[in-house]
Amino acid sequence: MSNKEEAKLLSMFAKTRALIKTKNRENAMCVVDRENAMCITVLDGAECYCNAILILLNKNYMFPAKALMRCLCELTVKLMWCLQCPVDTDEEQDRKTVDKKIRRWEKSTLAQNIKVLKEYKQVNPQDNSIDDQIKELEKKKDTMVVKKEMPNDYAQLLKELPDDFRYGLSLKLYKDLNKAVHLDANSLGKIYLHNNKTNVNNSDISRLKDYCFLLAENITGVIEINYN
């Protein structure tokens, strides 16, 4: 990754972190701890992924970079869904809406973890240590104050986002980046052809870098709007 790219990313995320600190110090709005924690951890995770994507792209590893970019798209969708509020509500109601959505995200994460452990248990029934882990997660999930989980598919999440975001993110999630995560004979063949090219198409690399920065701008932008 070039120094210019690194500096650009660092500046974007540092600016948003500074805004969060300033708003909290001024106590200009009542952002609950859960909302603060989510925004700060999302910024850290997104910056880490963006840096990794750019490093891979600079080494011409397009498909691994796309796989990480799809994870970043998924994070962007979930973040936007959590921070999206009705336009006709006041600030206090917005905070309650956001807090409830974050709790629903947390509940769906617990449900997914339980599902994965149960699948592991089916494959390894002799591992009795998993039973206690499942019970602990189920107890935690059942005691959460929210009844509903976050919608469990991206199609439903995307439907609740503004049109301009929904189209671009769905195009990347379902078409441009999907094959990099779910490898098959066709996508593996494309990786082989790409790796054996004598001349790499720099426009493809440049386009993916631009989209990486666009995702970073979406993430930092929606958080800044939330705090402003």
Half-sphere exposure of 182 toward its Cβ, with a 13 Å CA cutoff?
7
Is the pLDDT reported for residue 199 higher than 80?
Answer: no
Alpha helices in the chain (DSSP H): 3-26, 33-58, 62-83, 91-123, 129-142, 154-159, 163-171, 178-181, 185-195, 202-227
Question: What confidence score (pLDDT) does residue 198 get?
Answer: 57
Q: What is the DSSP letter of 173?
A: I
Higher pLDDT, 48 or 226: 48
Higher pLDDT, 29 or 161: 161
Residue 79 CA to residue 223 CA, distance in Å, equals: 9
Q: What is the mean pLDDT of the chain?
A: 87
- Does residue 145 contact residue 158 with C-beta atoms inside 8 Å? no
Task: Find the range with the poorest average confidence among 16-25, 136-145, 199-208.
Answer: 199-208
Higher pLDDT, 109 or 187: 109
Question: What confidence score (pLDDT) does residue 3 get?
Answer: 79
How confident is the model over 40-83, as pLDDT tens digits? 999 999 999 999 999 999 998 999 999 999 999 999 999 999 98
Mean pLDDT for 18-29 is 74
Is the pLDDT reported for residue 106 higher than 80?
Answer: yes
pTM over cut 0.85: yes
Structural domain spans, the chain: 1-59+198-228, 98-151, 153-196
Mean pLDDT for 141-159 is 90
- Does residue 165 contact residue 154 with C-beta atoms inside 8 Å? no
Residue 76 CA to residue 43 CA, distance in Å, equals: 11
